[in-house]
């Protein structure tokens, strides 16, 4: 495949029919991260925010921003099953809405009966607003329970979309959505797995854990859920029920702005580091605010976590741009 000097490696690969993983295409989300086996790349606007210096030094590149500086051999992450799901634009109705915490709503979306909306555990959808604006929300339901799609929406103070949603009282509103999107996808495996959720980052983790637990998994699972106060761990009672029923699952809630006997204190990634001296055997799935994801990427690999086994979704809020193809 040849790559014009002014084209990104990702765009050239997509144009050549290679379905490489990507999401934001702006150098933030890390979905397009790949390892350079030979050759080098450069970034006209400097190293993208989604690529840590240590990752670059270890030979990783973000293909959505990278320009080839000569012949390249690239080892890209292969997401077998993502290519099986079709991205659709669909109307849907808010069938039910329920407060989960003072600033979090559960929405249940009903899709047209004729539509077969297939997705993978961990993926998200975009709510389409006027003028090409989009708002991303992870799907909290697992693929095997998709008659309605569950979302957990946190109210962003001053937020256009979430503010409007919290101001409405009744269910029944119509939305247009596009999805499923994203490469943050759970794959069952024999190795142990750690899930790290920050706030509503619990939504995709819930989809993954329900998929693993209800479909039956043989792996050991750890869930660390970080939030400010106990009320922000809004489905902790459900998590504790899971732990009762599934001995392979261990759970720790972590509070950053409160302290009590039932939870750890501090930042959630610090608790993970305290509990696991060696992360070499683990897969890690992390979702939540960008600062949490950055802290995880900056610290967990130093404990032996293999970079390819760190799967994450950063709840970045991109500027209002229409998603590029």
**Which of the listed partners (ligand FAD, ligand FES, none) does 152 bind, with a CB threshold of 5 to 8 Å by partner kind?**
ligand FAD
Show the CA angle centred on residue 220, arms to residues 236 and 188, nearest 5°.
100
Report helix, strand or coil for 192: coil
Nearer to ligand FES, 68 or 272 (CB): 68
**Which of the listed partners (ligand FAD, ligand FES, none) does 30 bind, with a CB threshold of 5 to 8 Å by partner kind?**
ligand FES
CB of 234 to ligand FAD, least distance (A): 11
Burial profile 215-233: b = 16 or more Cβ within 10 angstroms, e = fewer: eebeebbbbbbbbeeeebb
CB of 303 to ligand FAD, least distance (A): 26
Angle in degrees, 0-180, between the axes of helices 290-299 and 268-275, rounded to the nearest 10: 30
> How crowded is residue 174: how many other Cβ atoms within 10 Å of its Cβ?
8
What is the SS3 string spanning 97-126?
Answer: EEEEECCEEEEEEECCCCCCCCCCCCCEEE
CB of 96 to ligand FAD, least distance (A): 17
**Which of the listed partners (ligand FES, ligand FAD, none) does 309 bind, with a CB threshold of 5 to 8 Å by partner kind?**
none
What CA–CA distance (Å, rounded) separates 103 from 166?
A: 9
**Which of the listed partners (ligand FES, ligand FAD, none) does 62 bind, with a CB threshold of 5 to 8 Å by partner kind?**
ligand FES
Burial profile 71-97: b = 16 or more Cβ within 10 angstroms, e = fewer: ebebebeebeebeebeebebebbbeeb
Note the residues at the interface with ligand FAD (CB under 6 A). 124, 135-138, 152-154, 156, 158-163, 182, 200, 203, 313, 315-317
CB of 258 to ligand FES, least distance (A): 34
Nearer to ligand FES, 24 or 287 (CB): 24
CB of 316 to ligand FES, least distance (A): 9
Nearer to ligand FAD, 152 or 210 (CB): 152
Q: What are phi and psi of 272, to 5 degrees?
A: -60, -45
CB of 162 to ligand FAD, least distance (A): 3
Nearer to ligand FAD, 149 or 203 (CB): 203
CB-based burial of residue 44 (10 Å sphere; 0-12 exposed, 13-18 middle, 19+ buried)? exposed
**Which of the listed partners (ligand FES, ligand FAD, none) does 27 bind, with a CB threshold of 5 to 8 Å by partner kind?**
ligand FES
**Which of the listed partners (ligand FES, ligand FAD, none) does 156 bind, with a CB threshold of 5 to 8 Å by partner kind?**
ligand FAD
Note the residues at the interface with ligand FES (CB under 6 A). 22-25, 27-32, 50, 62, 64
- Contact between 223 and 162 under an 8 Å Cβ cutoff? The reply is no
CB of 284 to ligand FAD, least distance (A): 17
Dihedral through CA 13, CA 182, CA 288, CA 300, nearest 10? -50
Nearer to ligand FES, 62 or 140 (CB): 62
Nearer to ligand FES, 30 or 226 (CB): 30
Nearer to ligand FES, 78 or 147 (CB): 78
The side-by-side arrangement of strands in the sheet containing 60-62 is 60-62, 33-38, 73-76
Structure tokens at 209: 């854990």
């Amino acid at each position: 495949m040849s790559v014009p000097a002014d084209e990104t490696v990702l765009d050239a690969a997509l144009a050549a029919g290679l379905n490489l993983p990507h999401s934001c295409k702006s150098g933030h989300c890390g979905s397009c991260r790949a390892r350079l086996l030979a050759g080098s790349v450069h970034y006209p606007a400097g190293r993208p925010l989604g690529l840590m210096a240590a990752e670059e030094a270890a030979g990783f590149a973000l293909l959505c921003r990278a320009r080839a500086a000569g012949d390249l051999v690239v080892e890209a992450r292969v997401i077998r099953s993502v290519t099986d799901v079709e991205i659709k634009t669909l109307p849907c109705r808010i069938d039910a809405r329920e407060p989960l915490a003072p600033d979090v709503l559960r929405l249940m979306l009903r899709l047209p009966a004729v539509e077969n909306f297939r997705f993978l555990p961990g993926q998200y959808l975009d709510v389409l607003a006027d003028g090409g604006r989009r708002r991303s929300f992870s799907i909290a339901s697992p693929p095997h329970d998709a008659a309605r799609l569950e979302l957990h929406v946190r109210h962003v103070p001053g937020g256009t979309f979430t503010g409007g949603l919290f101001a409405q009282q009744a269910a029944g509103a119509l939305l247009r959505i596009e999805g499923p999107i994203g490469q943050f996808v759970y794959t069952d495996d024999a190795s142990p797995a750690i899930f790290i959720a920050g706030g509503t980052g619990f939504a995709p983790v819930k989809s993954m854990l329900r998929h693993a637990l209800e479909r039956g998994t043989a792996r050991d699972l750890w869930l660390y859920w970080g939030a400010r106060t106990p009320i922000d761990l809004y489905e902790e009672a459900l998590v504790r029920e899971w732990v009762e029923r599934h001995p392979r699952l261990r759970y720790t809630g972590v509070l950053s702005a409160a302290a009590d006997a039932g939870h750890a204190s501090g930042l959630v990634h610090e608790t993970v580091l305290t509990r696991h001296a060696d992360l070499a055997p683990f897969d890690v799935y992390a979702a939540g605010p960008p600062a949490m994801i950055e802290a995880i990427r900056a610290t967990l690999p130093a404990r032996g976590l293999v970079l390819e086994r760190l799967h994450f979704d950063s709840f970045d809020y991109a500027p209002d741009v229409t998603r590029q193809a």
